[in-house]
Structure 1
Amino acid sequence: MKFENILSEVNGFGKFQIRLVLIQVISRITLPCHFVLNNFMGAVPSHHCDTSALDDQGLFWNLTREQKLAVALPAEPDGSPSSCRMFAKPQYQHLYGQNSSEDAATVPCPSGWVYDNSTFRSTIATEWDLVCSRKGMNKLTATIFFVGVMVGAPSFGFLSDRYGRRPLLLVSYLGTILFAVLSAFSTSYMMFVVMRFFTGLSLAGISIISIVLNVEWVSIERRTLCGIITSLDAAFGNWFLIAIAYSVNEWRLLILAVTSPLVLAVICWRWLPESARWLVASRKADAAHRYLIQCAHMNNRAKSMETVTPNCLLESVQVETQDQKYSLLGSLQDPKY
């Protein structure tokens, strides 16, 4: 008898598998949150050069805000103040409607920027002035994050084949929590970028291992349904992010908020089973047998395991795999795997 037949006998998509999928929803909703998080925490609000130094010199003491901007900042084609440059010398003729300053010398903002905080209280752009000549550094944070994801996917795939799905899933949970918290408390741009790299690396483990753990516990005929349910995590995660981002407009708190479901995921990890397929392929038939008995009892198929022994499981995998090993790559390449 093949292992797939044994899994079908204990019900390949019963209460046991539904519990497994639902528990992993808790962790998987954090994936889309972090994947698009940079759109919120890296948002660039309206900004212009800081003119407070001129106030200190007593030059602008009796001018309104609009007059100060008109005198200190060149205008963009749409009439708004320049975001990245200011006049080398104040252009007081603008106070009298004389706009003959096309040839006036301008300089990059010498004293930093002033930001519009009406929408976002703070972002990484306002925290480290990632605007104008430094705006590429803002986009770099997202790039480095996804480089971490690319590195983490094969790394966690290899490690979970070697040490098991369940322990590496816990490592992914704890790693994501650790590096997300450290990124939220970053004291420099470089520290933030490094922490985002390792956050992406850890999230890759959640992404790939959770899918494979689901697939390896579900019978072939129900894997399409399982895949559809799993794909809904992206929708739930995006809704969760929208709700959080609407309420939290401070980037450090936003990171902590979208990572918080993983605390519950760590608590619920104790109810996640190891992959019975991986256990049998790793010659741990006794542990696989115990998990299958739990599955059978929860799915009201206890009698189906009366004739199945650990030796039967070992023989079933030998027949099914024909000397091949169970792996993450095999699970994703072959739907019958």
Structure 2
Amino acid sequence: MIKELTVPKDETTGKFAKCKMYQVNFTQVVGGNLSGPDPTWPTTTCINGWTFDFSLYYPTITSQLNWVCEEDWKPFLSQSLFFVGSFMASPVLGWASDRWGRLPIIVATNVMGGAAGVASAFTNSFVAFTSLRFLVGMTFDTHYTVVYILLLEYVSSEYRTIMANVPIMIFLTAGLCVMPWLALYLHDWSTFAIVIHASQVISLSFPWVVPESARWLLSKGRTKETVDIITRAAHMNKKSLTPEVIRELEVRGSF
């Protein structure tokens, strides 16, 4: 009954308006024993805030900071700037991976994106949240595409489909399938942000467990490191490098 007297209905759909309320003295209205609202009552914006239905969806930054009605442009702008960051940074970070190596850029982008993503869970302003999402966007493509490139550079062309594309399809698809259920289980946007971005800290262990691209090292003339990596790879695969192969690597690295 109170909702009937305080919130107008859309004349076309008959549903309650989401961004308007009657501008009247509600003390007098509630105590006036009215059976319904007066259509001549003036309306105004929802000056007392909004009530959100979380029966299916969970609280988000939009509901937390009331980015609705007159401010409903904020989520769209924030998401757009996320992809602007990706558009601007991808070419630069791609160049950086050619200049300083695949592994440093993989670690740097994961750490940067993870830190910004976790920090965004604690923001309470549009500017702070959007700025952090922009930083996450800057790392969005590079933090996994450079891994993909690194993997491709370790296998010959006939094995690239099975060794690179298939794992990407399996794990990326599995991750995307799990994320909605994880979000529903956690039922809070900030906790969800912390969980998915904090996992990126595992990249700090990559320098000890993931070898740099041998092709990149060879292109930079770092022959000894290339031979060491190829030798370890051959040992793990129960193979051996012939002196001829090592000499060929040394010759290629000298150019």
Fold-level match, TM-score > 0.5?
Answer: yes
Decide which moves more: 107-116 or 72-81: 72-81
Q: Secondary structure at the match of 2:244?
A: coil
| Structure 2 CA distance for partners of 1:121 and 1:239, relative to 1, 3 Å | closer
- In 1: Cα distance, 2:97 partner to 2:91 partner: 10
| Structure 2 CA distance for partners of 1:121 and 1:230, relative to 1, 3 Å | closer
Structure 2 letter corresponding to 1:86: M
Whether contact under 8 Å (2:115, 2:198) holds in the other structure is: no
1:89 is aligned, of 18, 24, 38, to 24
| Structure 2 CA distance for partners of 1:163 and 1:188, relative to 1, 3 Å | same
Q: Secondary structure at the match of 1:162?
A: helix
**Runs (5+) with no aligned partner, structure 1:** 1-66, 324-337
Whether contact under 8 Å (2:58, 2:188) holds in the other structure is: yes
Q: Secondary structure at the match of 1:113?
A: coil
Structure 2 letter corresponding to 1:143: S
Whether contact under 8 Å (2:89, 2:139) holds in the other structure is: yes
Give how far 1:163 is off.
Answer: 0.4
2:99 is aligned, of 141, 148, 162, to 162
Whether contact under 8 Å (1:244, 1:258) holds in the other structure is: no
Q: TM-score, normalised by structure 1?
A: 0.68
**Runs (5+) with no aligned partner, structure 2:** none
Look up the match of 2:133: 196
Give how far 1:202 is off.
Answer: 2.0
2:173 is aligned, of 222, 231, 235, to 235
Look up the match of 2:156: 219
Whether contact under 8 Å (1:115, 1:126) holds in the other structure is: yes
Structure 2 letter corresponding to 1:71: L
Decide which moves more: 248-257 or 117-126: 117-126
Whether contact under 8 Å (1:75, 1:81) holds in the other structure is: yes
Q: Deviations over 1:6-34 (max 9, x none)?
A: xxxxxxxxxxxxxxxxxxxxxxxxxxxxx
Q: Deviations over 1:43-90 (max 9, x none)?
A: xxxxxxxxxxxxxxxxxxxxxxxx211111101344432110011115
Whether contact under 8 Å (1:86, 1:106) holds in the other structure is: yes
Structure 2 letter corresponding to 1:239: C
Give how far 1:139 is off.
Answer: 1.3
1:293 correspondence with 2:228:
no
| Pairs within 5 Å for 1:126-205 | 126-205=63-142
Look up the match of 1:312: 248
Aligned residues: 250
Structure 1 letter corresponding to 2:17: S
Q: Deviations over 1:80-113 (max 9, x none)?
A: 3211001111584996445551x43211111221
- In 1: Cα distance, 2:242 partner to 2:70 partner: 67
- In 2: Cα distance, 1:126 partner to 1:179 partner: 21
Give how far 1:278 is off.
Answer: 0.4
1:259 is aligned, of 191, 197, 220, to 197
